[in-house]
Chain A
């Protein structure tokens, strides 16, 4: 058997050699995934670049029109709002998830009765389908009488009038950010906690002997050690937040007055509601420069972690 495998030149032996050598088996095992992603991701990416330089509309044939889509886009109020909204949404959500995640991780780093259940339950906002939990939030923040307003106005007497959470431009954005934080906080906390618990106790003991307060020890010893994990989590979450479609679509459809629309939703509205496929593609392409910076940074950080 063994000699037949190395000597024989029948087709069967040839195939079994292909499946034996790492230099051939590797590409064979990789090929279904590679072909699939090439057809379904690389090709669509090139397709999108092409479409963004054409005047393609639903049902029409694409004609090359150079940078017209981009010029048109940059002069619109809708696109300006999309950029501002995306920056506001991403920056506020990320800063608060980072700070809240660190806080929650340090709470969970202390043993308490029921911590196992608290940790498992705490992850629900992140595990449960966004679509259905956002519907519940929509009901919590509903205009007029809703549980949020009853608590704020009638019970706590913080406000004289019900707040128009999803009808006011600023409050809509604040609600959107709040729900993003609600959903992402458990993810930040759990990954930060895993990193914090990976820090060796000896280093922390040494810091304590040197007279460091718990606060000082955290920022000067623990935090620098977990920083690479923190950066990767922030980068990956920034990409997800920037490209978010579900939350603004479900909660406000981008309104009122385009105050909560983000890149994906603007592209979706232009493409599927207005039929302006070329311009829709251009909107998604404007995300690309920022995306590539974020993706390359994540890649460098992850590689460095794997080597370190």
Chain B
């Protein structure tokens, strides 16, 4: 009787689980397919007979090929350095601005909050033409350093917006108590409030790093030369032979290049989710 009931309940839930499974397949299949392709031999990549969803003769040769291309790891190093440095600069600037907008009363605080939101909403595809001219005027167009300067244009507005929201919700009393006990205002902020805001600062930093890592337009438009490219701009044009795309190595390159973001996501899933509900978007 009891097992019967259970079985009936399971049967009733079955369509729902099938629906969930179908949604998951739609959302995740591309990642699986990219990874599986990266493990196939050159011949098997284009073979669609039998069970093509599992590599018949799994091989790491596509990954080995990446190791023989010296530029690929150069791009990896470039991406790491540009992402880390622009994240660091942007987070420092944004912690200061976000704190001021959220917690200090001064003339123009509300206007500053509005302007931050406006700049945050401006799409990256809106200002790249004049930015290229600006970079040419100051002699940085084509150099990797152009990216240290331009990546914060989309990182600072977002991080400031996120952090000012976060600072609003950090209690004021501990900071005030520390000042009563003789700490300076800056000392109280740095030693009391910033540690309490650490989860928000971490979220902002992680989002800034991910956004830098994923950036494409600026790295194509502002940088010249194979040795200066980011992973995104480098990989895009790297795996063509004439009109023909070499999908095995291309999928290996895409998998490897996505790995750091995947790891970051595994370790900080909660930070990502809280950042998303705070309004992080790219369309």
Q: Chain A: interface secondary structure? A: helix
Output the nearest chain A residue to B269 by Cβ-Cβ distance: A120
CB contact list, A115-152 vs B, under 8 A: 118-133, 135-140, 142, 145, 147, 150
Interface residue? A154 (CB, 8 A):
yes
| Interface contact A30-B269, CB-CB below 8 Å | no
| Interface contact B96-A32, CB-CB below 8 Å | yes
Binary per-residue interface labels of chain B (152-167) against chain A in the complex, 1 for a CB within 8 Å, 0 otherwise = 1100110010000000
Distance (Å) between the CB of B88 and the closest chain A CB?
A: 13
Q: Which residues of chain A are within 8 angstroms of B31 by Cβ–Cβ distance?
A: 124, 128, 133, 136
Q: Which residue of A45, A122, A194, A246 contacts B130 across the interface (Cβ within 8 Å)?
A: A45
Q: Which residue of A19, A112, A147, A262 contacts B16 across the interface (Cβ within 8 Å)?
A: A112
CB contact list, A214-250 vs B, under 8 A: 232-233, 236-237, 239-246, 249-250
Q: Which residues of chain B are within 8 angstroms of A174 by Cβ–Cβ distance?
A: none
Q: Which residues of chain B are within 8 angstroms of A182 by Cβ–Cβ distance?
A: 26-27, 30
| Interface contact B150-A40, CB-CB below 8 Å | yes
Q: Which residues of chain A are within 8 angstroms of B279 by Cβ–Cβ distance?
A: 191, 232, 236
Interface residue? B174 (CB, 8 A):
no
- Given known contacts A29-B97, A243-B124, A280 and B129 CB-to-CB distance under 8 angstroms: yes
| Interface contact A284-B129, CB-CB below 8 Å | yes
Interface centre among B99, B213, B269, B283 (most CB of A within 10 A): B283
Output the nearest chain A residue to B53 by Cβ-Cβ distance: A147
| Interface contact B134-A37, CB-CB below 8 Å | no
Distance (Å) between the CB of B246 and the closest chain A CB?
A: 10
- Given known contacts A30-B97, A140-B30, A187 and B133 CB-to-CB distance under 8 angstroms: no
Count residues of B near A (Cβ-Cβ below 8 Å): 93
What's the Cα separation between A27 and B37 when bound, in Å? Answer: 54
CB contact list, B101-136 vs A, under 8 A: 101, 104-109, 112, 114-119, 121-134
Interface residue? B194 (CB, 8 A):
no
Q: Which residue of A32, A186, A237 contacts B97 across the interface (Cβ within 8 Å)?
A: A32
| Interface contact B129-A127, CB-CB below 8 Å | no
| Interface contact A107-B153, CB-CB below 8 Å | no
Distance (Å) between the CB of B154 and the closest chain A CB?
A: 9
Q: Which residue of A127, A147, A264, A302 contacts B217 across the interface (Cβ within 8 Å)?
A: A264
Q: Which residue of A51, A126, A142 contacts B247 across the interface (Cβ within 8 Å)?
A: A142
| Interface contact B20-A128, CB-CB below 8 Å | no
What's the Cα separation between A78 and B130 when bound, in Å? Answer: 21
Interface residue? A66 (CB, 8 A):
no
- Given known contacts A145-B48, A243-B123, A132 and B235 CB-to-CB distance under 8 angstroms: yes
| Interface contact B216-A243, CB-CB below 8 Å | no
What's the Cα separation between A136 and B32 when bound, in Å? Answer: 10
What's the Cα separation between A137 and B254 when bound, in Å? Answer: 11
Q: Which residues of chain B are within 8 angstroms of A40 by Cβ–Cβ distance?
A: 131, 134, 149-150, 152-153
| Interface contact B30-A107, CB-CB below 8 Å | no
Q: Which residue of A23, A33, A239, A249 contacts B106 across the interface (Cβ within 8 Å)?
A: A23
CB contact list, B229-279 vs A, under 8 A: 232, 235-236, 245, 247, 250-251, 254-255, 257-258, 261-262, 265, 269, 272-273, 276-277, 279
17 pairs from A and B in contact (CB 8 Å cutoff):
A25-B185, A26-B100, A33-B93, A33-B94, A36-B93, A37-B115, A107-B16, A123-B273, A125-B27, A129-B258, A135-B236, A139-B251, A243-B126, A264-B217, A267-B125, A268-B217, A268-B221
**Considering the complex of A and B, which 8 residue pairs feature the smallest CB-CB distances, nearest first?**
A243-B123, A264-B125, A240-B283, A26-B106, A33-B97, A136-B34, A47-B130, A132-B254
